[in-house]
Structure 1
Amino acid sequence: MNINLKLQLVTIIPLLLALSAVLFVTQLQYQSLSRQTVDEYRHSVIKHRKEELRNYVSLAEGATEYIYQNKNLNEQQAQTLVKEILSNMRFGKDGYFYAYDFDGTALVLPEQQSRIGKNWLDLEDRNGVKLIRDLITAAKVGGGYLNYVFYQPSKGDGVGKKIGFSRALDDWQWMIGTGVYIDDIDHEIAQLNASIRKHIRNTSILTLFIGLVAVTAIFFSGQFIRFSEKKMANRKLRELNERIFQTQEEECKRVSRELHDGISQTIAATKFALETAQLKQQNNIDASQDMNRSMELICKIMGDIRAISHQLHPGLLEDYGLGAAIEELGRDFSLRTNIEVNVERLSIRNVLSTEVKAALYRIAQESLTNIERHANASKVTIKLKLIPGG
């Protein structure tokens, strides 16, 4: 796995983990907010319904108070009129008023005539709530609310959840009250929950989409950078190869020139000197001077060959190490150019590999060549030292 891919993974994986964490925490926060919103909505609606119930009962009391307080009517006549008024009072779709005596006998129950006159004190709804008994108990203490399940006229034979409120007519030992059905609240809350869940889902999808776009952008940006770096590296590699090739060509030209201008001419001069000596010997003439001249030329040829060989690959580098090779390189440079060369060397023969020694030697060699060509220097200092870690 190359470094670019590793960098991409190091960048993308934390981003994916962060995106997952954001989605998880967001879901928890949304769910908590959803529950809080639903609870507050339910509480607000129930509170409003209870206030309505209290107002309805107050209206019923106001509508019957003049009869209840009328001393000119006997009690039976007054009760009959109150029952008639309560039976005819309606509000909303299923809103009606009811009345029971404190013993639990039904007195007013619109659209449920079969229940009137019967005792329902122990009547229980499907949840076990003794609704008549509890409504009477609440009425005796000044009025109160009760949640229960009861017959709902608009549903035919069906029942619905209901909130009831009751008050007492103490002189007659009656409980009057009314109630509102709250099944519609559950329906509205279900719709609210569905709307919130849809909003949470849409928000999560949008967050996930944005995260995936970011991950994709990072991935392709990394690929682009990787491609650009690879392209740049290839270009630099081509430039380096071209430079190496040019250097090799220049080195070949230099060696060829030295062979042609130096060794080749010296060999020709040696050949001429040997031929001259041969002719003199054939004519019994002293040829010792020509032979000496030939020996000098042969020695010069050997020196030139040794110098060229040394430039191509110095034997001192292998035999005595980098310091000795550079010292000799500086000495030869000084003899050739009359530029003073000071070499500060260390004995690091057994520390560096062959490749490193060769590379450092070529660097020094190329540097001296550049100095000779371009620097106009009068003194050169070459320092070879070790530093911690390199």
Structure 2
Amino acid sequence: MRPSIKGKILLLTILPLVLGGMALTWFNAINMQSDGQEKIKRFHLQLLADKNNALRLRTQIAFGAIEKFFQDAQPDNIGEQLHQRGEEFHRGIQKYYNLKSKQLNAEELKKAIIDYVKFYRYDDGRGYFWINDLKPRMIMHPIVSRLDGMDLSQYKDPNGVELFNEMVRVVKTQDSGLVRYQWLNSSTDKIEDKISYVFLFKPFNWILGTGEYKSILQAKYQVLAKETIAKLRYGKDGYFWINDYQANMIMHPIKPSLNGKNMAGLKDSQGVYFMQEFVKLAKTKGEGFVNYSWPKPGVEGERPKLSYIKSFEPWAWIIGTGIYIDDIDLLVAKERMAVEKGINRMVYENTGVGFLFCFFLLLLVYVFVNQTLNKPIQQMMCFLEDLTRGKLNIRLDIQTKDELGKMAGALNYFTGNLHRVMQDIQSSAEVLSSASSQLSATTTQIEQTTQGVKGGTQEAAQAMQLTIENISEIAGSISEINENLSHIQGNIALTQKGAEKGSDAILDIDATMQKITTNSEEVIEIMDVINDIINQTKMLSTNAAIEAARAGEFGKGFAVVADEVGKLAESSKGASSKISRTVKSSAHNVEEGARVTKKTEQALNEIMGQIGGIAQQVEKVAQHMVLQNQQMQEMDQASEKIIEISESNVTAMVELSSAMQQVDSTTGELNQMALRLQQHVKRFEL
């Protein structure tokens, strides 16, 4: 069985996805393994770095303590300590002098002071004071008694320093001070550097002094340094040791039995001579780390250990400390297990997610291929199969914008055109069949009709002769109508002139009305003035009556006159009121007359407009009558031509009858062709 297009497309789509997913999963697994190893390596290095930093910092603390002791052993610091001790002794002997000076005479007091100094000791009996004077002459030396009484002014040390003259100079200039020189050390029986502090004992002008050998002070501070370092601890079992550049153990706090032994041949189970490595690092780099194995307390056998050493060159010491790093291996192992577990989990998760992604992607691809490729192709196959069976009334329902959509559109367009063509052919065949039948019947009818037309044409020619005679009579009637229209136009012109004169008269009447209205308004104004005069006259008569009443008998005649004037004013006011009402009534009537005149003028204007319209219509009728007369003449000429044509139509009818017989024969053949065409078209479903 050959694979379908759907299967090929799915195979070409799925296979790369599956292979790509597998390759991506494998690549991610490799990368995660590499990242995991790198993470473990960084974790291991970080643990070591933390250990290294811790060792370095802790060693620096011990190193700082040794530096402090070394600084204390320096001459300047030693001199300060001697100064403090000398001043303390100075205060003590001064008190003793003050006490004994009240009990003893001068010689006894000197002897008491000498004895006090001679037997005075400090630092477990190693420290002492001596006395010499300003000459200088030794008065008392508690250790080297042979110097007592000797003149020391010419005494020099191996370096040529006149130490006793220097002591005299110091106390004379500043009462006390330090003097550096070399002197025999009775403990080692060697000439060694020494520092002395001297001060002036003023009661006897004696110089009292004490000193210390530099080697003794340095050894003292080295002992203090070793004791201090031996006590330093950190963590559960952290400690420091000290060895020299010959791999001799100077101090080991855990195994004191190693102190003083040479450790150069000491090696661990792996064959590492770690003490030699310590010395090599100290000499070349001054500090560094060494990995080796060493027994761990509470555990059998050796365990890996990391030590950090740093050299202290002034004393030729190597200070070191170390920590067991077997816990690093355990931590790294745990970290490796955690990382591997995480990697495996991530690989499984990524693989699962990848398979799920591929599954859903494959599902989407399947749906996509089925919907966008397979389904349209299946539709096209069914469509083409139906098309081969003659079904032209079907369409492809594919709406995509890709090539399949364009192909479906093209097939639909082709099928639609083919459907329309077949419908046209079917319609044409039906029409042709029907037309051939009708044409056959029509030819028979035409042949019959031609015979009738032939006779009718002859009768028409006779009728046209009568029509020509009637047209001549109508032309005479139209001429009479034209003459009557001319008379009507004359009368209309006279009517228009009369209407214009009436309009002018109306205008004159309207002007007269306006004048009457103006005069009436003036009369009303005059009457208003008369009314004012009458009112004033009444007021005067009233005032006159009042004055006559005041005059008594002398004003009676004047009162009669005033009363008559009042009556006359009252009657004048009545007459004036009547005149005003009459004038106002006349003005109102004039206004009504003006409105009527306006309406009459408008009516005349409308009549004139209508008369003008009638005149225009009469003129148009006259023009139409002229045209009608011309058309009658043309109809007369046309009728004569129709008679000639009718005579030629009779001849044509004879020829048409012969042609119809030939058409009838051809129509039979067309009918047979239409029947065959219909049979072919019926094979298609339209």
1:18 is displaced (CA, Å) by 0.6
Retained in 2: the 8 A contact 1:167–1:177? yes
Alpha-carbon separation, structure 2, partners of 1:333 and 1:79: 144
1:285-309 per-residue CA deviation (whole Å, 9 max, x = no partner) reads xxxxxxxxxxxxxxxxxxxxxxxxx
* Larger proportion of helix: 2
Query: 1:335 aligns to what?
Result: 672
1:302-317 matches, within 5 Å, as none
Q: Aligned-pair RMSD on alpha carbons?
A: 4.2
State whether residues 278 and 290 of structure 2, in contact with CA within 8 Å, keep that contact through their aligned partners in structure 1: no
The percent identity for this pair of structures is 23
* Cα distance between partner residues in 2 of 1:218 and 1:333: 66
Letter in 2 for 1:126: S
* Structure 1 unaligned blocks of 5 or more: 247-331, 342-363, 375-390
Count of paired positions: 264
Post-superposition Cα deviations, 1:222-259, rounded to whole Å, max 9, x if no partner, equal 777899979x969x97xx89x98x9xxxxxxxxxxxxx
C-alpha deviation, 1:92, in angstroms: 1.4
- The equivalent of 1:18 in structure 2 is 20
Aligned with 1:175: secondary structure? strand
**Equivalent in the alignment of 1:49:** 51
Give the distance between the partners of 1:90 and 1:336, measured in 2 at CA.
127
Q: Is the 8 A contact 1:99 1:177 kept in 2?
A: yes
Query: In the alignment, which residue of structure 2 is the partner of 1:34?
Result: 36
The Cα offsets for residues 315-337 of structure 1, whole Å up to 9 and x where unpaired, read as xxxxxxxxxxxxxxxxx997352
Partner in structure 2 of residue 310 of structure 1: none
Q: Which amino acid aligns with 2:10?
A: Q
Alignment of 1:1-390 (within 5 A): 2-3=3-4, 4-68=6-70, 69-70=72-73, 71=78, 73-141=216-284, 143-217=286-360, 335-337=672-674, 368-369=681-682
Q: Cα distance 1:138–1:218, how it changes in 2: closer, same or farther (>3 A)?
A: closer
Verify the 8 A CA contact 2:307 2:321 in the aligned structure 1: yes
In the alignment, the residues of structure 1 paired with residue 670 and residue 325 of structure 2 have an alpha-carbon distance, to the nearest angstrom, of: 108
Aligned to 2:122: none
Cα distance in 2 between the residues matched to 1:52 and 1:198: 31
Whole-angstrom CA distance in 2 between matches of 1:52 and 1:91: 10
Secondary structure in 1 matching 2:682: helix
Rounded Cα–Cα distance in structure 2 between residues aligned with 1:53 and 1:154 = 19
Deviation at 1:179, TM superposition (A): 2.0
Specify the code of the residue in structure 2 equivalent to 1:337. A
Q: CA 1:11 to 1:104, structure 2 compared with 1: closer, same or farther past 3 Å?
A: same
Once residues 217 and 142 of structure 1 are traced to their aligned partners in structure 2, the CA distance between those partners, rounded to angstroms, is 64
What is the rounded CA distance, in whole Å, between the counterparts of 1:94 and 1:334 in structure 2? Answer: 128
Higher gyration radius (CA): 2
Output the TM-score relative to the length of structure 1: 0.55
Given the superposition, is the C-alpha separation of residues 77 and 159 from structure 1 closer, same or farther in structure 2, using an over 3 Å criterion? same
Task: Look up the SS of the partner of 1:2 in the other structure.
Answer: coil
Q: Retained in 1: the 8 A contact 2:248–2:261? A: yes
Cα contact 1:145–1:163 (8 A) shared by 2: no
Q: Quote how far apart the aligned CAs of 1:99 are.
A: 0.9
Structure 1 residues 156 and 213, CA gap change in structure 2 (3 angstroms): closer
Q: Deviations over 1:268-296 (max 9, x none)?
A: xxxxxxxxxxxxxxxxxxxxxxxxxxxxx
- CA apart distance, 1:95: 1.5
Residues 93 and 154 of structure 1 are in contact (CA less than 8 Å); yes or no, is this contact kept in structure 2? no
Distance 1:197 1:117 in 2: 50
1:2-50 Cα deviation digits (max 9, x unpaired): 3244443333222221111101211222223223333333333433433
8 Å contact kept, 2:241–2:251: yes
Q: Hey, what's the Cα distance between the residues in 1 that align with 2:354 and 2:366?
A: 18
Give the whole-Å Cα distance in 2 for the aligned partners of 1:158 and 1:84.
30
Amino acid in structure 2 at the alignment position of 1:148: N
Listed as ranges, the gaps of 5+ residues in structure 2 are: 79-211, 392-668
Partner of 1:294: none
What secondary structure, in the 3-state scheme, does the structure 2 residue paired with 1:137 have? helix
**Residue in structure 2 matched with residue 296 of structure 1 by the alignment:** none
- Contact kept, 8 Å, 1:106 with 1:119, in 2: the verdict is yes
Q: What secondary structure is seen at the aligned counterpart in 1 of 2:348?
A: helix
TM-score by length of 2: 0.33
1:221 to 1:75, Cα distance in 2 relative to 1, 3 A: closer
User: Please, which moves more after superposition, 218-227 or 135-144?
Assistant: 218-227
Change (3 A) 1:5 1:167: same
CA distance in 2, matches of 1:227, 1:59: 79
Which residue pairs with 1:313 in the alignment? none
**Aligned equivalents of 2:271 and 2:27: distance in 1?**
41
- Aligned-partner Cα distance in 1 for 2:366–2:284: 79
